[in-house]
């Protein structure tokens, strides 16, 4: 017991500073000042694969571990943005893309703020399915200088509110 008392006596200031720092960081994160996602630049026309999700959605919670691995593996490669948008984070972006069900995944060849040529994801909600989607749409020929390829990428229909089981 005396060793513990000596430890506390010797390191009390450092322990208090550490705890205060943790409390401040947690408060900043919960207030939204420190966000888990980056600010989306409206002028960014880089091709993007975007997950529109809600924190309360069970399907989104099931998908999230695979999405985070997908994001880690593909974000920034060949100029591609891979990110997620939480339902309360940017309602105007949700409205722009007509999102009314979660999770919704889209490939935006001209950036997330341009709905031209957007492709809705309808594959398996796992890392393999997301990787296949990337390989099919987010390749150099789809977002290179040649505009003729991007027009052929637009497929009809959506999967908004899709409630299929995740495989």
Helix (H) or strand (E) holding 3: helix 2-31
CA dist., res. 167 & res. 154, Å (int)? 25
* Per-residue pLDDT tens digits for 69-121: 999 999 888 788 898 999 888 888 899 999 989 999 999 999 999 999 999 99
3-state secondary structure 9-35: HHHHHHHHHHHHHHHHHHHHHHHCCCC
Residue range 15-38, pLDDT digits in tens: 888 888 878 877 765 554 444 445
Beta strands in the chain (DSSP E): 48-53, 81-86, 104-108, 119-120
What is the pLDDT at residue 118? Answer: 93
User: Would the pLDDT of 5 be above 70?
Assistant: yes
Record the pTM: 0.63
Which helix (DSSP H) or strand (DSSP E) does residue 133 occupy?
Answer: helix 127-137
Question: N- to C-terminal Cα distance for the chain?
Answer: 53
The larger pLDDT score, comparing residue 144 to residue 47, is at 47
Task: Answer whether residue 164 shows pLDDT above 70.
Answer: no
Q: What confidence score (pLDDT) does residue 43 get? A: 76
Q: Which two three-digit tokens encode residue 128?
A: 């393999």
Give me the phi and psi of 144, to 5 degrees please.
-85, -165
Question: Which pLDDT does position 76 carry in this prediction?
Answer: 85
Q: What are phi and psi of 80, to 5 degrees?
A: -90, 135
Which tokens hold the place of 131? 């990787």
Domain ranges for the chain, please list them. Answer: 1-36, 48-151
Q: Identify the pLDDT of residue 140.
A: 54
pLDDT at 149 over 50: no
Mean per-residue pLDDT, 111-133: 93
Confidence of residue 44 (pLDDT cuts 50, 70, 90): confident
Mean pLDDT of 116-133: 94
pLDDT for residue 158: 33
What CA–CA distances, in Å, run from 120 to 9, 44, 58? 60, 20, 20
Two tokens at 136? Answer: 């099919």
CATH topology of domain 48-151: Glutaredoxin (3.40.30)
- DSSP 8-state symbol, 123: S
Question: Which residue, among 167, 142, 140, 145, has the nearest Cα to 155 in the 3D structure?
Answer: 142
């Amino acid at each position: 017991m005396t060793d513990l008392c000596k430890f506390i006596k010797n390191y009390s200031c450092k322990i208090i500073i550490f705890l205060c720092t943790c409390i401040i960081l947690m408060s900043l994160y919960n207030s939204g000042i420190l966000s888990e996602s980056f600010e989306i630049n409206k002028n960014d026309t880089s091709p993007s694969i975007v997950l529109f999700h809600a924190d309360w959605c069970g399907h989104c919670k099931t998908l999230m571990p695979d999405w985070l691995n997908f994001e880690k593996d593909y974000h920034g490669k060949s100029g591609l943005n891979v990110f997620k948008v939480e339902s309360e984070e940017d309602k105007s972006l949700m409205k722009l893309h007509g999102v009314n069900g979660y999770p919704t995944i889209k490939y935006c060849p001209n950036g997330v703020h341009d709905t031209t040529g957007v492709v809705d994801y309808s594959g398996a909600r796992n890392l393999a399915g997301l990787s296949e989607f990337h390989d099919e749409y987010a390749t150099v020929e789809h977002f290179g200088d040649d505009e003729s390829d991007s027009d052929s990428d637009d497929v009809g229909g959506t999967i908004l509110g899709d409630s299929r089981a995740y495989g």
